[in-house]
């Protein structure tokens, strides 16, 4: 870790406790849901957004960390050194998915700019902080996944990767058109409208964008939601259902969140799963018809997450 980075690490960010530790690697061979990528790239472990349905919690290093998901973030303090050493050789043409188990633009990123530093390495951008690391740019095929409009800070780096002959796409997640649902399932995330504005801005700035409804929680008006999605200018969408009973949920918002959605679905817990799936299927059919009528693509589940280039 450089002294400059160490000095910047705060003890808390986004309501979570922040620690730092060296990681064995920053690029990890992609497997499972991401198996069509070559690598996943995560600057942090843990995530202060702490979404109540987050599957990444299961990859926490301990049960204690799983139970406290959303309340801790660990900075991979040697991430810049690891990526710049090119242990994996050239990343030209390599499909990289950034943010498989953390959000690279969660609040700590504003202070630390670690995601940005990794993008600078991929883009071969000069960084006054790391002059000795200035190397040839890579030409990766990069997808960055986030729930934060803060990604807009780095549009220039996305474009630079494209100019260098690589590919870059930002996936921005929006899970509902209902802010009450969003606040209950994702209390620490930015509002949906801010994320949709970021997606529109990406399009306007010439950055490839995709809106991921992953998971789609609840839609109060699927037709109006489709119109709002299309109004961003984005023409790539991915959707997948919310898995109510997969593994253990994060404790902090689970009960409240499921109760709220049961109320929206006008059912009790006993039939929640069936009601939710019926709602999802209805919303999916409306969204698919409306989005595709406008020339947009709607992928679903693992197939939808296939590398776009
Ligand atoms: S933003 Fe992503 S990684 Fe973070 S808690 Fe939410 S789903 Fe998990």
The CATH code of the domain that includes 66 is: 3.20.20
Residue 135 has pLDDT above 70, yes or no: no
Confidence category of residue 87, pLDDT binned at 50, 70, 90 = low
Residue 136 has pLDDT above 80, yes or no: no
Q: Is the minimum distance from the CB of 103 to ligand 1 under 6 angstroms?
A: yes
Torsional sign, CA 262, 266, 269, 272: negative
Instruction: Give the pLDDT of residue 249.
Output: 47
Instruction: Give the pLDDT of residue 21.
Output: 94
Comparing 49-53, 143-147, 249-253, 303-307, the range with the smallest average pLDDT is 249-253
Question: Between these two residues, 145 and 247, which has the higher pLDDT value?
Answer: 145
Asked if the structure places residue 293 within a domain, the reply is: yes
Residue with tokens 């050239």: 90
Percentage of the chain beyond pLDDT 70 is 93
Mean pLDDT value across residues 3-24: 89
Asked if the structure places residue 234 within a domain, the reply is: yes
Instruction: Compute the distance from residue 60 Cα to the ligand 1 centre, in Å.
Output: 12
Per-residue pLDDT reduced to its tens digit, 287-296: 999 999 999 9
Residue 25 has pLDDT above 90, yes or no: no
Instruction: Compute the distance from residue 54 Cα to the ligand 1 centre, in Å.
Output: 6
Size (the chain), residues? 309
Instruction: Give the pLDDT of residue 88.
Output: 67
Percentage of the chain beyond pLDDT 90 is 75
Q: Is the minimum distance from the CB of 182 to ligand 1 under 6 angstroms?
A: no
Measure the N-to-C terminal CA separation of the chain; round to a whole number of Å.
Answer: 33
Residue 223 has pLDDT above 60, yes or no: yes
- CA–CA dist 171, 128 (Å, integer): 29
Instruction: Give the pLDDT of residue 170.
Output: 98
Domain span including residue 151: 3-304
- CA–CA dist 292, 300 (Å, integer): 13
Out of 21-35, 57-71, 96-110, the most confident range is: 96-110
Residue 268 has pLDDT above 70, yes or no: yes
Instruction: Give the pLDDT of residue 292.
Output: 98
Instruction: Give the pLDDT of residue 168.
Output: 98
Instruction: Compute the distance from residue 47 Cα to the ligand 1 centre, in Å.
Output: 6
Asked if the structure places residue 241 within a domain, the reply is: yes
Asked if the structure places residue 195 within a domain, the reply is: yes
Instruction: Give the pLDDT of residue 246.
Output: 52
Asked if the structure places residue 78 within a domain, the reply is: yes
| CA distances (Å), origin 302, targets 32, 33, 238 | 9, 6, 9
Residue 58 has pLDDT above 60, yes or no: yes
If one counts the domains in the chain, the total is: 1
Confidence category of residue 2, pLDDT binned at 50, 70, 90 = low
Asked if the structure places residue 309 within a domain, the reply is: no
Asked if the structure places residue 221 within a domain, the reply is: yes
- CA–CA dist 42, 258 (Å, integer): 29
Q: H-type helices in the chain, by residue range? A: 3-8, 63-67, 79-84, 108-112, 114-123, 155-163, 179-185, 192-204, 222-231, 251-264, 272-293, 301-304
Q: What is the pTM of this model?
A: 0.95
- Residue 81: which of 2, 21, 161 has the closest Cα? 2
Q: Is the minimum distance from the CB of 109 to ligand 1 under 6 angstroms?
A: no
Confidence category of residue 126, pLDDT binned at 50, 70, 90 = confident
Instruction: Compute the distance from residue 42 Cα to the ligand 1 centre, in Å.
Output: 12
Asked if the structure places residue 239 within a domain, the reply is: yes
Instruction: Give the pLDDT of residue 189.
Output: 97
């Amino acid at each position: 870790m450089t002294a400059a980075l160490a000095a910047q690490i705060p003890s808390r960010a986004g309501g979570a406790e922040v620690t730092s530790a060296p990681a064995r690697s920053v690029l990890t061979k992609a497997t499972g849901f991401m198996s069509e990528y070559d690598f996943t790239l995560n600057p942090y472990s843990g995530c202060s957004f702490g979404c109540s349905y987050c599957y990444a919690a299961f990859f926490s290093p301990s049960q204690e960390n799983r139970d406290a998901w959303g309340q801790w973030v660990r900075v991979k303090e040697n991430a810049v050194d690891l990526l710049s050493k090119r242990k994996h050789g050239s990343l030209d043409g390599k499909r990289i998915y950034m943010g498989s188990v953390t959000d690279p633009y969660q609040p700590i990123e504003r202070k630390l700019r670690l995601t940005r530093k990794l993008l600078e390495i991929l883009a071969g951008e000069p960084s006054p902080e790391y002059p000795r690391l200035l190397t040839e740019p890579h030409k990766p095929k990069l997808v960055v996944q986030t729930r934060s409009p803060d990604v807009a800070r780095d549009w220039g780096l996305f474009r630079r990767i494209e100019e260098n002959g690589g590919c870059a796409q930002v996936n921005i997640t929006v899970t509902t058109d209902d802010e009450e649902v969003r606040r209950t399932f994702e209390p620490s995330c930015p509002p949906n409208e801010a994320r949709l504005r970021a997606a529109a801005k990406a399009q306007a700035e010439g950055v490839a964008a995709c809106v991921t409804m992953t998971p789609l929680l609840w839609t109060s008006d699927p037709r109006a939601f489709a119109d709002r999605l299309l109004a961003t200018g984005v023409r790539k969408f991915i959707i997948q259902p919310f898995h109510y009973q997969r593994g253990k949920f994060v404790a902090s918002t689970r009960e409240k969140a499921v109760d709220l959605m049961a109320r929206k679905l006008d059912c009790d817990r006993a039939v929640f799963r069936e009601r939710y799936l019926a709602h999802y299927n209805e919303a999916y059919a409306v969204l698919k018809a409306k989005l595709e009528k406008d020339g947009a693509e709607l992928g679903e589940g693992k197939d939808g997450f296939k590398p776009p280039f």
